[in-house]
Amino acid sequence: MVSAQTYTDCDPTKRSDCPARKAVGSKPVNIDFRQGKNKFFKEAEGTKLTYDKDLGAVFSIANENQAPTIGSDAYIFFGQVDVVLRAAPGPGVVTSFVLQSDDLDEIDWEWLGGDNAQVQHNYFSKGCTETYDRGGFSPVADPIGAFHTYTIKWTSEQLDWIIDGQVVRTLKNTGIEGCAGYPQSPMQIKLGTWVAGRKDAPQGTIEWAGGLADFSNGPSDGYYQSLKIIDYMGGHKEATEYQYGDKSGTWQSIKVIGSSGVVSSSSSVTSKATTKTATSATTLQTVTSSTALGATNGTLTTDATTTPTSTTEEVTETETAIPTGAAGKVALSNMAAMGAAAVLGYLVL
C-alpha cells in the first residue's frame, strides 16, 4: 500500500488515445439498493455484495484482504450525488464514497469504523499527493449506527459537502493550479469499504485508521441504502459522452458530445474562475459548533442555543491545514500515500 499510486486506466493529460466516457446525461439516476442489484454499477473483481430489503447493499469485510467496491461506467461533468449510507464499524475499517476522474481529480467522503462522531472529507487535483493539507472533519451523530444522507454538490465554481441537507464544507474554485487545484474533470462514482488497519500497512496509516482491524467477532458490514445522481453536463442541455479536448485537464477543455455529435466544448460556458499560480487558496467551511446532525434518516437536530456559522471565510490552506485520511497520516510519518480512490483502485487491481 505504501508504494501504490492513484490508479487510472488512461490519463488524458498524459496520453492522447484515451476513450471518451459515457455520460450520465440529462436523466437523473435514482437507485434503491433495497430492491437489489442495479446495473448502473459494476462490481470490482473479488466483490460480492448481498442486498437487504431494509438496509440496502451490504458491503461486508471478514478479513483484511477484502475490499468490496463498485464503480459506475457513466460519468458526471459537474453535478450532485446523494448517498444514503451507514458506515461499517470497527477500528481499521474505512467506508468511502468517492468521485474520481480519469486524470485523477478526486472528491471524497470517508468514515472510520472506530470513530462514531464525525466524518472526513477531502479532495485531490490531478493525482497530486505531494501535500496532504486539504482534508477536513465534520461532526455527525452516530454515522455507524444510523443512516444519513451525504451529498456532493459540484459546479465549475463551487464544491459543497452536505450532510442531511446542511452544508458542512464549501470549496471555491479560485483558479489555483497544483495540489490545491480545483477538481474539474468528468468523474465516475465509486462506493466501497476497505481495511486501512492492515498488518502490512505503514504505522501512520494504522494510527489514522484507529488501529489494526479485528474480525475475530465476525465481519464488519457497511450499508448503502440508496443513491441519486444528477449530471450537470458541464452546463449543457444534453450529453451522451465526455471527451478531453487537450491535455490540460481543465473543465473548459472538455468536449460534451450529444446524440448528434459534439454539442460544444465547455469553454463556451462562462466561468468566473481565472487561472492563477500560487501555492494554495481555498474556501473551507466546516461546522465546528455544538450543532449535532440527527441520528435519523434525513433529519437535522440543532441545539437551540447554538447556531452553526454560515460565514465562509477565504483563507490559505496552509492556515487551515488539517491532514486527514491515510494520505495525511502517512505524510506526517514521512511515507508515500494516496487518496481514498487510490486505495480502492489499488486493492482491486
Given this model, what pLDDT does residue 266 score?
A: 61
Given this model, what pLDDT does residue 261 score?
A: 81
Summarize pLDDT for 270-299 with one digit per residue, the tens. Answer: 444 444 433 333 333 333 333 334 443 333
Nearest to 67 by CA among 225, 220, 228: 220
pLDDT interval class at 131 (50, 70, 90): confident
Percent of the chain with pLDDT over 70: 74
SS3 state of residue 241: strand
* pLDDT exceeds cutoff 70 at 174: yes
Catalytic position from the list 43, 45, 64, 106 = 106
Q: Name the pTM for this structure.
A: 0.80
Given this model, what pLDDT does residue 303 score?
A: 31
Higher pLDDT, residue 316 or 15: 15
Query: Which amino acid type is present at position 74?
Result: A
SS3 state of residue 221: strand
Is 40 buried (19+), middle (13-18) or exposed (0-12) by CB count in 10 A? middle
How do 220-231 and 79-86 pair as beta strands? antiparallel
pLDDT interval class at 260 (50, 70, 90): confident
CA distances from 175 to 102, 126, 201, 286, 317 (A): 20, 14, 36, 21, 14
Given this model, what pLDDT does residue 292 score?
A: 39
Catalytic position from the list 110, 157, 177, 241 = 110
pLDDT interval class at 132 (50, 70, 90): confident
**How far out from the chain centre does Cα 183 lie?**
11
pLDDT, the chain, mean? 81
Residue 317 bears catalytic tag: no
Nearest to 251 by CA among 159, 120, 340: 159
Q: Among the listed ranges 2-16, 215-229, 274-288, which one has the minimum average pLDDT value?
A: 274-288
* pLDDT exceeds cutoff 70 at 23: yes
Query: Where in the chain are the domains?
Result: 25-236
Higher pLDDT, residue 129 or 85: 85
Cell 450532510 sits on residue: 163
Q: Can you tell me the distance from the alpha carbon of 44 to that of 171, in angstroms, rounded to the nearest whole number? A: 30
**Burial annotation 298-328 (CB, 10 A radius, 16+ → b, else e):** eeeeeeeeeebeeeeeeebbeebebbbbbbb
Given this model, what pLDDT does residue 130 score?
A: 82
Summarize pLDDT for 187-214 with one digit per residue, the tens. Answer: 999 999 999 999 999 999 999 999 999 9
CATH number of 25-236: 2.60.120.200
Q: What is the DSSP letter of 63?
A: S
The partner residues of 121 in beta bridges, in order of sequence, read 109, 136
